[in-house]
Amino acid sequence: MQAEGAGWRLAVDPSRDGYQALIGGEGWAIELSLEELASLSALCVRLQEQHLAIADQLMAEEVIEIALERGPWWLELSGDRERWGLRFVLSSPNGRGAEGMWQPPASGELCLALAKAGSF
């Protein structure tokens, strides 16, 4: 499975050894295990749910930040009631680390692609 748009990309190949997925943004990419990818996908869903639950309470000019941490991921949604970006820090138990971000609308498109990809 491969998907990409302006400012993001996602590739998953479960038949590969080692790292079976790749995520990327503007000028960067990182390979992930399927477990890391599933954890990232779950955090994206959770952040979107939290954003949706409070978005209608925000004034047009209000900016919010919602951060969650689970497993190797720290993920932050930052934006207003309609547009938001994502920033992440990966601290893998095997010593790998990475940081990256997706701007709006790439962040929402990536989360949608992760959700459509289903279980890994």
Residue ranges of the chain with per-residue pLDDT less than 50: none
Which tokens sit at 6? 């302006």
How crowded is the C-beta side of 78, counted as CA atoms within 13 Å?
Answer: 8
Tokens 């971000």, residue located: 101
92: CB partners within 8 A, 6+ apart: 36, 72
> What end-to-end distance do the CA atoms of the chain give, in Å?
10
Residue range 34-117 forms a domain whose CATH class is: mainly beta
pLDDT in tens, 41-64: 999 999 888 878 877 777 777 778
Q: Are 31 and 22 in contact (CB under 8 A)?
A: yes
In the chain, where the domains are located: 34-117
Instruction: Please give the model's pTM, rounded to 2 decimal places.
Output: 0.87
